Structure 1
Amino acid sequence: MTPMDNVVRFGPSPEVVKQAIHWTLRLRNNRANLRLYAQCEHWRKAHGDHELAWQRVQALQQELNSQLATIPGVHRALENSAQGLSRRQALKTLSGVLVVGSAAWLSRDVSGWQRWTADLATATGERRSVQLPDGTRVQLNTDSAVDLDFNVQQRMITLLRGEILVTCGAASSAPLLVQTRHGLFEGIDGRFAVRQASDCTRLSVVSGNVAIHSPHQVNGLSTQVHAGESYLVRQTGALLAPPLEMDIGAWADGLIVTRDMRLADFLAEVGRYRHGYLGCSADIADLRLSGVFRLEDTDKLLAILPQTLPVRLRYRSRWWVSLERSA
């Protein structure tokens, strides 16, 4: 038995996802072909991964359609251009529209294509908790994706994007590792959060200990991070981070718990859980707020702010919300 025989795989393979995309495009261009629908149904029932890939593609297509519909002319252009194109051409056109429409609020969701092939993933505003075969619990925050590689030699979680909260035990012959583009983290019987941004990864330890392994550490030594500590890890090294103005991991319970947090920073955090633009004018950016806020409905969350701060909400559309100082 090879090591790969022991790998625990989660989710459909990239090839299966491509097949689901091709079926979607074929049906889209042949809506009256009942035989083709029957063939697609047969393919979906042939394997559990086929149905899972199909559902993921349909969900993401609906999400993209709802977003593109808010951009004048883009959705209609996509529909018109798809007629008569081959599957490869249609897929290329769809990708091109996403790039053309990559305004700041939409570009974040272009990476949603990554959710098709990740072992575990969440959409914007979604949270997910999964217990792995070894007993490790991984909780994914909004718009996050991970790949898993568990075998007799190692237990590896690769954070592709977003944030995870990991709860692990010490009873295992193989170390539990979390890999990001900035470093490698080894969990040692505890609970810790890993959040990957474009320029760095933030490690926050709730309990237990975590070792940061970096090729740039002096003499190849690792940095030991203890409960209550946070580090910012870049490819050049790891530095102790200042305390956060919100509770680590409260999002796993559907909450944001703040302590004297800047309004601009708070809105940036809430914006991770909704589509579109969310911001405030510069003259109120430094207002402070503390409290417990529920993430299940961000519109209701925002409606609370004028009750405690001298601000008012301005909705230009469902996807564009700004806060201004109240008169």
Structure 2
Amino acid sequence: MAPSAKAVKLAIQWVLRLRESGNDPQLSRQCEQWRLAKPEHELAWQRVMHLHQELDLRALPGAGVALQTLEASQRRLQRRQALKLLGGVALVGSAAWLGKDLEPVAGWASDYATATGERLTTRLPDGSLLQLNTRSAVDLAFTPQQRLLRLKHGEMMLTCEGSQPLSVQTRDALLEGFEGRFTVRQDDTCTQVSVGQGKVALHTPGQGSLQWLESGQHWRIDANGAQRLEQLDMDAMAWSEGLIVTRDMRLTDFLAQVSRYRHGYLGCSDDIADLRLSGVFRLEDPEQLLQLLPQTLPVRLRQRTRWWIRLERAA
């Protein structure tokens, strides 16, 4: 069950009031009574608190101003708009990276979703195995006629069971997996598919016939159609084991991948962007992973805050 926009707005208001009151006991009791009044209230409260803690607002510069602005605006804005406003005010000039940290909001109304750095493994009603990578959201639509998952954003891996095809709908295509395993990733520009085992049928808008994707193949699908990728510089399925496995990967591309699993800005100077990296890296602690890079490359880490890290050439 997903809480209504009204319940979420009220939960946001309670968080703001409690914060500004300095933990007033009477107000805390009133908030608790509101939470107990309906299951939807408690669900909205838990989800707002999860986002509040994930953003770690108490440590963000300008958070007090952001909260005041949100409190003044939340009555007239939709839930998503209000939270975007929070991001824009809390870190003026840094909204680009904060925006990606607000993606869990899109998962509130999803059947399965993950936050930044989180991965999820679950069994579907038909026995198939669903694995979600960081910042991903999926809706489930199972009927007697079809088994369908809608990938709203992010990345998933499916290990199919049963004789009926298991379908995945993205912005760019409809995919049908048969007994086997494949990954699907959807970002702002395209859908990427990698087949580990079995076959996947690809249906793209405007094409009359389907296309078969074979085991070991990697494909990119966008508005211009489907294109097979001959070689990847990163193992497309290693994330399901908590790993990034690279093969002669550009440093700037590697950092873009790591940034998916952590909050804040992560980048490098232009003069080291094309340095190449090969190896196996564990995702369980992205900060520790970054500390390893100066041991293998001529780089140093420049860190302003826990949210801002830039790699530069070592002196």
TM interval, short-chain normalised: 0.7 to 0.9
Question: 3-state DSSP class of the match of 1:88?
Answer: coil
CA shift for structure 1 position 94:
4.5
Q: Distance in 1 between matches of 2:138 and 2:262?
A: 20
Match of residue 236, structure 1, among 209, 216, 224:
224
* Amino acid in structure 2 at the alignment position of 1:88: R
**How many Å apart are 1:258 and its aligned residue?**
1.2
Distance in 1 (alpha carbons) for counterparts of 2:3 and 2:166? 25
In the aligned structure 1, how far is the partner of 2:197 from the partner of 2:154?
21
User: AA paired with 1:167?
Assistant: T
- 1:276 and 1:82 mapped to 2: Cα distance? 21
Distance 1:80 1:23, change over 3 A: closer
1:43 paired to 2:38: yes
Which position in structure 2 is the counterpart of 1:205?
195
Distance 2:177 2:82 in 1: 43
**What SS does structure 1 have at the residue aligned with 2:144?**
coil
Q: Which has the higher contact order (CA 8 A, sep 6+)?
A: 1
Moved more, 55-64 or 244-253: 55-64
**Partners of 1:130 and 1:137 within 8 A in 2:** yes
In structure 1, how many angstroms separate the alpha carbons of the residues matched to 2:152 and 2:119?
16
Q: CA deviation at 1:146?
A: 0.8
Q: Secondary structure at the match of 2:38?
A: helix
1:149 to 133, 138, 141: 141
- Contact 1:78 / 1:93 at 8 angstroms: preserved in 2? no
Tell me: CA distance 1:125–1:141, structure 2 relative to 1, closer, same or farther (3 Å).
Answer: same
Deviation of the 1:26 alpha carbon? 3.8
Residue 88 of structure 1: aligned partner: 75
Aligned to 2:156: 164
Structure 1 contact 176–187 (Cα < 8 Å) conserved = yes
**Contact 1:216/1:235 (8 A) holds in 2:** no
The 2-side partners of 1:108 and 1:295 are apart by: 18
Name the amino acid aligned to 2:215.
Answer: A
Are the structure 2 counterparts of residues 306 and 77 from structure 1 closer, same or farther at C-alpha, using a change threshold of 3 Å?
same
Check whether the contact 1:162–1:196 (CA below 8 A) recurs between aligned residues: yes
**2:41 corresponds to 1:58:** no
Q: How does 1:285-304 map to 2 (within 5 A)?
A: 285-304=273-292
Conserved? CA contact 1:231–1:240, under 8 Å? yes
Amino acid across the alignment from 2:35: C
Worse-matched range after superposition: 158-167 or 27-36: 27-36
SS at match of 2:189: coil
**Secondary structure of 2:116's aligned partner:** coil
**CA distance in 2 between partners of 1:268 and 1:122 (Å):** 18
1:129 and 2:121 aligned: yes
CA distance in 2, matches of 1:76, 1:259: 45
Please give the TM-score of this superposition, normalised by the length of structure 1.
0.85
Contact 1:26 1:87 in 2 (8 A): no
Q: 2:235 aligns with which of 226, 235, 247?
A: 247
Would you say 1:114 and 2:101 are equivalent positions? no
CA 1:52–1:206 in structure 2 vs 1: closer, same or farther (change >3 Å)? farther
Deviation at 1:188, TM superposition (A): 1.1
1:274 maps to what in 2?
A: 262
Alignment RMSD (CA, Å):
2.3
Q: Does structure 1 conserve the Cα–Cα contact (< 8 Å) formed by 2:36 and 2:42?
A: no
**Partners in 2 of 1:58 and 1:41 — Cα distance?**
16
State the identity as a percent.
50
Distance in 1 of aligned mates of 2:88 and 2:15: 24
Secondary structure in 2 matching 1:171: coil
Among 259, 263, 272, the alignment partner of 2:247 is 259
Tell me, in whole angstroms, the C-alpha distance in 2 between the residues paired with 1:151 and 1:239.
32
CA offsets per residue over residues 75-126 of structure 1, 9 Å max, x none? 111333456x586248665442334556221121233321211111111111
Deviation of 1:36 (Å): 4.5
Matches of 2:186 and 2:244, distance apart in 1? 18
Closer/same/farther in 2, CA of residues 274 and 26 from structure 1, 3 Å limit: closer
Counterpart of 1:318?
Answer: 306
How many pairs align? 303
Structure-1 separation of matches of 2:110 and 2:288:
31
8 Å CA contact 1:254–1:295 kept in 2: the answer is yes
Task: Name the counterpart of 2:21.
Answer: none
2:210 corresponds, among 218, 222, 238, to 222
2:179 to 189, 213, 223: 189
2:161 is paired with a residue whose SS is coil
Q: Per-residue deviation at 1:145? A: 0.7
Q: Which residue identity is paired with 1:177?
A: S
With over 3 angstroms needed to count, the CA separation of the structure-2 counterparts of 1:94 and 1:279, relative to structure 1, is closer
